[in-house]
A and B are shown apart, each in its own frame.
Chain A
Amino acid sequence: MFIDARKLPAGTLLDCDICILGAGAAGITLARELAGSPYKVCLLESGGFDIDQATQDLYKGEIAGRYYPPLDTARLRFFGGSTNHWDGNCTPLDALDFENRDWVDYSGWPISRSDVDPFYARAQPYCQLGPYRYDPAYWAPLAGGPALPLPPEKATTNIAQLSPPTRFGEVYRDDIGRAANVTAVLHANVLEIVPRSDDASRIGHVRVAVLKGAAFTVTGRHFVLAMGGIENPRQLLLSNTSAPAGLGNQNDLVGRFFMEHPVVDGATFQPSRKDLNLKLYGETVFGERALTAFLQVSDAALRRHKLTNMRAPLDPTTRYRASVGVEAFDELADELRGGPAPMSNWLDVKEVIEDFDMVLEAGARKLLHRHLFASAEDDVCFTMDTMVEQTPNPASRVTLAEERDVFGQRRVRLDWQIEQKTEDNLWRCFEIIGAALGQAGVGRLRSWREHAVRLWGKERLNYGFHHMGTTRMHQNASRGVVDADCRVHGLKNLYVAGSSVFPTGGHVPPTLTIVALAIRLADHLKRIAGERS
């Protein structure tokens, strides 16, 4: 059942067994898993069924330190959350990502890949994906081409399944609406999670405000915070009536370790043969689904060289971008400007002449903002827009800003920081993949390390819009905000769902893991709610 909070009378008190705060991928999965259970579930969502500017405005925040896109564009605040604009790229985390890697500070999940495997399998249909198979050999016949024969001690191929992408708010709206035990309250903005006055280790209720309506209260036995990787810590920090530093923040960990997946256009791959079969690395469509493959440094090489993870997809690029004539022209121009010029002029001139159509093309694009030659768009090589694992860094963090939103709540402030070792790891990974490609005799890799400053800078760096790490999972309360069950340390009935619980993020877009962990949490809640009733 759906309720519009704007129509609730002042002073309304809703009561439930399990109260879910936020209806994105995590919250909707939880509610759907709990549908049909004997427990009364309340799903509180800030937005309605569509985007609304005033609600979206609540997501505005301050960017401190490294550039990041405005926070009200990096996520969406209505039913379905950021899955209303996600891309649907899904892969499970690697087994190594869960491990305590002695070369990666703060690494190590308290659970392993095999603990999560059964939940990944159940998460696949949620994201409208195919079978829980990520081995390239399984998909190669469908794609019409094998994985590259890379030496396994250096590099491997991995699969990404591509969700349609599932708009959780649309696809599961009817299921939620039909579930007799689930009440989804729209336009309900949670302001504070409040512990019981007689027992500070238990949450008693949440205070909820409505943009054009009256405030109300929801009481419950269990609460799950599922507002996304930036809002989850904000909400804990704002909930400071009984704990001045914020809930779960007794060790000053809430909001720290913010991680993204920087996407760096850091290398190109030049196949050695035009007819090299790279179909697996293109997009293979099957029904409404699709998949693609990417290269990564193998588990063995990551361990041996003590590196963090990354993924390098192969995106065909055009003759124009790959033009040697344009390069030669560029170098001639450098020489004329008196810049460093190790090359002989005649060779550059010859190449400019030989590739003159592409040089003209470059001129036309620059001067006229238009293309001259259709052939400029012919594919000749592959760029590698590489998704990079960030090393966990306590200084990279979400805090509260001084500015306030319309409810008088302090806005969020993001200070995203990337450690130099994250960058260094990437360049080393390219060297390893380059050697693997060469060893396999399939081509060569060119790393753009010499352009590192620009590639990691504001103009060129891209983002996954994956917000991770801010309520990290650790069995030890002094090192994590939640335990292995995603329960906030020190609180008996408050849980966190979403990528904020990830201690490390691998190279993997987070949503499949978010959904898997939400299913796991739903099972846990069913168990413990059952025990108590």
Chain B
Amino acid sequence: MKIARRSLLKAGSGLVAFAALGRTATAEPASDDGAARLVALLGNRHAAIRLGRRHLSRHPEERDAAQLAARLTTRLAPAGGPIRRAALRRSLAADFAAGRVTALDGWILANTEVDLCALAALKAPGTGATLSPPPRHDG
């Protein structure tokens, strides 16, 4: 069956991006900055930023880097201390097992990794300009 040209492009889209995201980084994160350490867990920041931006454009209320970082740290290093890749793997598996799953751009992702992507997007230069203004908190 002939596949329309444009659908072929679309069908392939984003896969390599995710390949790098799915493979979490091989080295343990070293930065001192908490958010940067979390973002360093990602294998491919570009891919993560893409997905993160997409998520944030749908959920502008999540555009709070500090809150995201705190949430992730509680999940990944509840007792404090360094954040390890093993903890991320466990958290992802637990999310999937419990159905804490988000479909983002078609990807079936654990909520933890969606948070990581969102954080990566917020930390990336230029994100602010491309997103709609954050929601107002009136009280």
Binding site for B on A (CB under 8 A): 151, 265, 267-268, 270-273, 317, 319-324, 326-327, 329-330, 342-344, 346-347, 350-351, 355, 362, 366, 380-381, 383, 430-431, 434-441, 443-451, 454, 459-460, 462
A355 to B17, CA, bound (A): 11
Which of B11, B18, B53: most chain A CB closer than 10 A?
Answer: B11
Q: Could you tell me if A438 and B109 are in contact, using CB atoms closer than 8 angstroms? A: yes
Q: Could you tell me if B106 and A447 are in contact, using CB atoms closer than 8 angstroms? A: yes
Chain A to chain B: the 3 pairs with minimum beta-carbon distance, closest first? A434-B108, A327-B13, A322-B15
Q: Could you tell me if A445 and B16 are in contact, using CB atoms closer than 8 angstroms? A: no
Which of B3, B4, B19, B92 interacts with A438 by CB under 8 Å? B92
The chain B residue sitting closest to A447, CB to CB, is B106
Q: Could you tell me if A441 and B93 are in contact, using CB atoms closer than 8 angstroms? A: yes
Query: Which residues on A sit within 8 Å (CB–CB) of B105?
Result: 446
Query: Which residues on B sit within 8 Å (CB–CB) of A437?
Result: 108
B5 at the interface (CB under 8 A from A): yes
A295 to B129, CA, bound (A): 42
Q: Could you tell me if A381 and B19 are in contact, using CB atoms closer than 8 angstroms? A: yes
A214 to B54, CA, bound (A): 71
Q: Could you tell me if B93 and A446 are in contact, using CB atoms closer than 8 angstroms? A: no
Query: Which residues on A sit within 8 Å (CB–CB) of B19?
Result: 270, 322, 380-381
Q: Could you tell me if A342 and B54 are in contact, using CB atoms closer than 8 angstroms? A: yes
Q: How far is the CB of B4 from chain A (nearest CB, A)?
A: 6
A151 to B97, CA, bound (A): 8
Q: Could you tell me if A343 and B108 are in contact, using CB atoms closer than 8 angstroms? A: no
Binding site for A on B (CB under 8 A): 1-19, 21-23, 46-47, 49-50, 53-54, 57, 89, 92-93, 95-97, 99, 101, 103, 105-110, 126-127, 129-130
Query: Which residues on A sit within 8 Å (CB–CB) of B7?
Result: 451, 454, 459-460
A350 to B46, CA, bound (A): 10
Q: Could you tell me if A444 and B18 are in contact, using CB atoms closer than 8 angstroms? A: yes
A355-B16, A441-B92 given; A346·B97 CB < 8 A: no
Q: How far is the CB of B72 from chain A (nearest CB, A)?
A: 17
Q: Could you tell me if B1 and A446 are in contact, using CB atoms closer than 8 angstroms? A: no
A273-B23, A381-B19 given; A344·B9 CB < 8 A: no
A324-B47, A431-B108, A435-B108 given; A459·B4 CB < 8 A: yes
Q: Could you tell me if A438 and B101 are in contact, using CB atoms closer than 8 angstroms? A: yes
A177 to B28, CA, bound (A): 72
Query: Which residues on A sit within 8 Å (CB–CB) of B126?
Result: 344, 346-347
7 contacts between A and B (CB under 8 A): A265-B11, A319-B16, A324-B47, A431-B108, A435-B108, A438-B101, A449-B103
Q: Apart from A330-B9, A350-B46, A441-B93, what 9 extra A-B contacts exist at CB < 8 Å?
A: A268-B11, A272-B23, A321-B8, A322-B19, A342-B54, A347-B50, A347-B126, A444-B18, A449-B103
Query: Which residues on B sit within 8 Å (CB–CB) of A438?
Result: 92-93, 95-96, 101, 108-110
Main secondary structure on B side of the interface with A: helix
A344-B130, A444-B22 given; A322·B3 CB < 8 A: no
Query: Which residues on A sit within 8 Å (CB–CB) of B16?
Result: 319, 322-324, 355, 380
Q: How far is the CB of B61 from chain A (nearest CB, A)?
A: 16
A322 to B4, CA, bound (A): 16
Which of A344, A351, A439 interacts with B53 by CB under 8 Å? A344
A366 to B8, CA, bound (A): 11
The chain A residue sitting closest to B18, CB to CB, is A270
Query: Which residues on B sit within 8 Å (CB–CB) of A346?
Result: 126
Q: Could you tell me if B106 and A343 are in contact, using CB atoms closer than 8 angstroms? A: no
Query: Which residues on B sit within 8 Å (CB–CB) of A445?
Result: 107-108
Q: How far is the CB of B131 from chain A (nearest CB, A)?
A: 8
Which of A326, A344, A449, A454 interacts with B106 by CB under 8 Å? A449
Q: How far is the CB of B117 from chain A (nearest CB, A)?
A: 12
Q: Could you tell me if B10 and A268 are in contact, using CB atoms closer than 8 angstroms? A: no
A92 to B20, CA, bound (A): 38
A443-B22, A445-B108, A459-B4 given; A343·B93 CB < 8 A: no
A438 to B108, CA, bound (A): 8
A449 to B105, CA, bound (A): 9
Q: Could you tell me if A324 and B96 are in contact, using CB atoms closer than 8 angstroms? A: no
The chain A residue sitting closest to B14, CB to CB, is A327
The chain A residue sitting closest to B12, CB to CB, is A321
Q: How far is the CB of B84 from chain A (nearest CB, A)?
A: 15
A366 to B6, CA, bound (A): 10
Query: Which residues on B sit within 8 Å (CB–CB) of A330?
Result: 6, 9-10, 13
Q: Could you tell me if B15 and A439 are in contact, using CB atoms closer than 8 angstroms? A: no
Query: Which residues on A sit within 8 Å (CB–CB) of B14?
Result: 324, 327, 446
A326 to B9, CA, bound (A): 7
Query: Which residues on A sit within 8 Å (CB–CB) of B99?
Result: 435
Q: Could you tell me if A324 and B108 are in contact, using CB atoms closer than 8 angstroms? A: no
A344-B126, A451-B7 given; A327·B96 CB < 8 A: no
A151 to B101, CA, bound (A): 15
Query: Which residues on A sit within 8 Å (CB–CB) of B23?
Result: 272-273
Query: Which residues on A sit within 8 Å (CB–CB) of B109?
Result: 438, 444
Q: Could you tell me if B96 and A435 are in contact, using CB atoms closer than 8 angstroms? A: yes
The chain B residue sitting closest to A462, CB to CB, is B1
Q: Could you tell me if A324 and B13 are in contact, using CB atoms closer than 8 angstroms? A: yes
The chain B residue sitting closest to A265, CB to CB, is B11
The chain B residue sitting closest to A267, CB to CB, is B106
Query: Which residues on A sit within 8 Å (CB–CB) of B2?
Result: 459
A271 to B14, CA, bound (A): 14
Query: Which residues on A sit within 8 Å (CB–CB) of B5?
Result: 366
Which of B49, B108, B127, B130: most chain A CB closer than 10 A?
Answer: B108
Which of A268, A344, A383: most chain B CB closer than 10 A?
Answer: A344
